Structure 1
């Protein structure tokens, strides 16, 4: 494995570790000239550069992705992760069955084999992440700055790292 492939693999492992266990992500699409975010259930798959979500074809997000496949997926937990990429749809019935959860039967009022159910595959181009130390300390510090005239220091909101998954060999 060359250096770029190795660093890309390490970056994907880092992102996988940071988002593992965060069930809900915010998926941001472009609707005309504005960004629209909505919560989405991330499917339980190891992050290998792709993220998977289930949706219905008769939704605004489906139309938005058809018109502009550039999306962002953000995660918030002990750390914060922002993943930029391109979305595409998949009709893979076996994968839909694998990712289907019985709660979706009630939530979406259908079954995985409904032709209106579709998978969104987000192929990551890059990710940015911020690792938090003590979340309570971080929130308290941020809240203090919001309620006083103190300025945020550069180090208070410093990006830990940006990774590009499309590095040239």
Structure 2
């Protein structure tokens, strides 16, 4: 029997370790005409705890896409590849916007954190997959784990495949 709390904590720690140095994720939404749209977005919180934070503007297509369908995917690429699926919601929190604001955003978004058009996106992760490629082993390991407490028999499956590229 898998201890869900320990298992989820270990999964979150693993994902945190893999994405902590990757600043930009490919943030994927679904458009109103069911097209899959990905764009680079800077992750605002370094410590992954099952939630990820982003800043955006309300007058963007991604805002409308999330309103229509809050299911999103985040892809991180670095020394490992991580794909996180979750549900996005908009948060109006002036203190958090100020905390996450970076002076680069002033120029990039041509505004400031207190602009009412600026909004936070909070993504609650449902699941994550990662492919960790070690340089010396030349292998790929795949691990699929449910990150929430909505654990089912299917969700407890771990897949550990090693593929040798030599």
TM bracket (short chain): 0.7 to 0.9
Equivalences for 1:43-122 in 2 at 5 Å? Answer: 43-122=44-123
| TM-superposed deviation, 1:134 | 1.6
Residues matched between the structures, number: 149
User: In structure 2, which of residues 143, 151, 163 is the aligned counterpart of residue 161 of structure 1?
Assistant: 143
> What SS does the aligned partner of 2:21 have?
coil
Higher relative contact order (CA 8 A, sep 6+): 1
Residues 65-104 of structure 1: CA deviation (Å, up to 9, x unaligned): 0000000000000000000000000011000000000000
Match of 2:11 in 1: 11
Matched-pair contact (CA < 8 Å) for 1:128–1:159: no
| TM-superposed deviation, 1:24 | 0.6
- The runs of 5 or more residues in structure 1 that have no matched partner are 139-155
Quick check: which has more Rg, 1 or 2? 1
Residues 15-55 of structure 1: CA deviation (Å, up to 9, x unaligned): 00000110110000001211100000011331000000000
Q: TM-score, normalised by structure 1?
A: 0.83
Match of 2:155 in 1: none
Matched-pair contact (CA < 8 Å) for 1:4–1:168: no
Q: Which runs of 4+ in 1 moved over 6 A?
A: none
Matched-pair contact (CA < 8 Å) for 2:126–2:147: yes
- The runs of 5 or more residues in structure 2 that have no matched partner are 152-166
Matched-pair contact (CA < 8 Å) for 2:133–2:141: no
Give the superposed CA RMSD: 1.8
Structure 2 residue 26 is the aligned partner of structure 1 residue 30: no
Q: TM-score, normalised by structure 2?
A: 0.85
In 2, distance between residues paired with 1:86 and 1:30? 12
In 2, distance between residues paired with 1:35 and 1:105? 29
